[in-house]
Amino acid sequence: MSKFGDLIYTPEEASGQAISKAETHTPKIEAPDTVKKGEPFTVKITVGPHEMKTHHSIRYVELWFYEEGRPFNPVRVAKIVWEPEYTVAEASVAVTLQKSGTLYAISYCNLHGLWEARKEIKVVE
C-alpha cells in the first residue's frame, strides 16, 4: 500500500503515461522569491492550458506553506475550487508570511489525479 504522498505526481518524478500529462496538469506558481515579513504579496497559480469540460477538468488547487522552524507543517493557506464549463484554472491569492519556507500548490484533475509544484520564499525584515 502506497503512502498518500507517493500518489501525487511531480514533473521530476512522473513516469509512464504521466510524463505526457506533466505540462498541462502541474500547477505553476508565480510569486516573488523574496518578500518582506508581514507584508501582503500576490501568489498566482495557473494550471494548463487544460480543458475545463465536465468529463475532464482541473477541479481545484490547494496552496500549502511549509514554514521553516514550525513544529507541525504544512499549513493550508487556500483552496480554490473551479467548476467545469464556466472557469479557467487560474487564481490569485494575497498571502502574508512571517518566516521563510516553501509554497506548495496541489492541483486535482478528475481524470489524472493530483499534481504538485513548489516554490521557496525567503522572508526578510
Domain boundaries, the chain: 4-124
Report whether 101 contacts 68 (CB < 8 A).
yes
Express each pLDDT in 58-85 by its tens digit: 999 999 999 999 999 999 999 999 999 9
Least Cα distance to 99 among 76, 122, 74, 75 occurs for 122
- Read off the pLDDT of residues 99-111 as tens digits, 9 standing for 90 and up: 999 999 999 999 9
Contact 28, 46 (CB under 8 A): yes
The tens digit of pLDDT for each residue in 30-53 reads: 999 999 999 999 999 999 999 999
Q: pTM for the complete prediction?
A: 0.93
Domain 4-124: top CATH class: mainly beta
